[in-house]
């Protein structure tokens, strides 16, 4: 809705919480589950994705009047693939350990539906500034969600966070948490929490909408 009085700040805020790409829109699940076994991996992946998202949003929105409608998806994918190649080489240069831990999932940022989704749904219709803010918000929201998952999985699965031991030696690691199935369970847990919050909010709104009908039961 280009006519709505939404400010650029709104575009930024919405990605963080209200339209959080992972918890609310459930987009870009593959990397979310695959590399969130430790907090540091998750954060690195989140930041890499955020960078690609912001850059592709900027490029797509500045080229939006030149890209023919028929080949737009192919163009977006090529733009995204270019930035992913850059990120791939940059991570390899910064930390080889991290590069090995993330493996093919850095390359797989290309097919992250979140990035293509934002390019198609937002950047192709909005100005560069708004698209940048949108990319920034969505990217940080994505990184935040990945960090939430990674932190939970590392704390429970290895008893540490960022490699720092948290518990006494007698703590029994929940091995299942660092295994693939742990990713599914943790994400399901977060989704349950979000669903519950949403329901509680809806109930509250219902109560305030009908204030005179009866005493709100506490």
Partner 1 sequence: MNQEPLWSIFVNASLVNNFVLAYFLGICPFLGVSSKLDTATRMGGAVTFVMLVSSICAFGIQLLLTAIDAPYLKLISFIAVIASTVQLVEMFIKKFSPALFRALGIFLPLITTNCAILGLALFQTNKGYGFLQCIVYALGAGVGFTLALVLIAGLREKLELAEVPDVTKGTAMALMLAGLLSVAFMGFGGLGG
Binding site for partner 1 (CB under 8 A): 26-27, 29-31, 33-34, 73-74, 77-78, 81-82, 84-85, 88-89, 104, 107-108, 110-113, 116, 176, 179-185, 187-188, 191-192, 195-196, 199
Residue number, 37 or 132, with CB nearest to partner 1: 37
Residue number, 133 or 149, with CB nearest to partner 1: 149
Could you tell me the smallest distance in angstroms from the CB atom of residue 70 to partner 1?
11
CB atoms within 10 A of CB 56: 25
Tokens of 166: 């948290």
Could you tell me the smallest distance in angstroms from the CB atom of residue 31 to partner 1?
8
Report the C-alpha gap between 160 and 15 in whole angstroms: 29
Report the C-alpha gap between 24 and 33 in whole angstroms: 15
Could you tell me the smallest distance in angstroms from the CB atom of residue 170 to partner 1?
26
**Neighbouring residues of 58: CB distance < 8 A, sequence distance ≥ 6:** 123, 128, 131, 132, 135
Residue number, 135 or 183, with CB nearest to partner 1: 183
Strand partners, 164: 161
DSSP state of 164: E
How remote is the C-alpha of 83 from its chain's centroid?
A: 17
Report the C-alpha gap between 55 and 57 in whole angstroms: 5
Specify whether the CB–CB gap between 36 and 42 falls below 8 A: yes
Question: Can you say whether the dihedral through the CA atoms of 61, 63, 66, 67 is positive or negative?
Answer: negative
Residue number, 141 or 182, with CB nearest to partner 1: 182
Residue number, 10 or 120, with CB nearest to partner 1: 120
Could you tell me the smallest distance in angstroms from the CB atom of residue 74 to partner 1?
6
Could you tell me the smallest distance in angstroms from the CB atom of residue 43 to partner 1?
18
């Amino acid at each position: 809705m280009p006519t709505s009085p939404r400010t650029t700040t709104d575009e930024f805020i919405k990605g963080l919480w209200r339209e959080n790409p992972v918890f609310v829109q459930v987009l870009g699940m593959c990397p979310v589950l695959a590399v969130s076994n430790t907090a540091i991996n998750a954060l690195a992946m989140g930041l890499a994705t955020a960078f690609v998202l912001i850059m592709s949003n900027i490029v797509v929105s500045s080229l939006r009047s030149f890209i023919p409608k028929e080949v737009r998806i192919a163009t977006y994918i090529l733009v995204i693939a270019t930035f992913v190649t850059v990120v791939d080489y940059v991570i390899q240069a910064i930390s080889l350990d991290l590069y090995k831990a993330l493996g093919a999932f850095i390359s797989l940022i290309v097919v992250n539906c979140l990035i293509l989704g934002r390019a198609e749904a937002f950047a192709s219709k909005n100005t560069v500034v708004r698209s940048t803010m949108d990319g920034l918000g969505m990217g940080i929201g994505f990184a935040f969600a990945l960090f939430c998952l990674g932190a939970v999985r590392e704390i429970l699965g290895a008893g540490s966070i960022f490699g720092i031991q948290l518990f006494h030696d007698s703590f029994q690691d929940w091995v299942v948490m660092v295994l693939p199935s742990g990713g599914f369970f943790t994400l399901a847990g977060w989704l349950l929490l979000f669903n519950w919050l949403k329901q509680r909010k809806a109930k509250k709104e219902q109560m305030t909408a009908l204030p005179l009908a009866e005493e709100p039961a506490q």
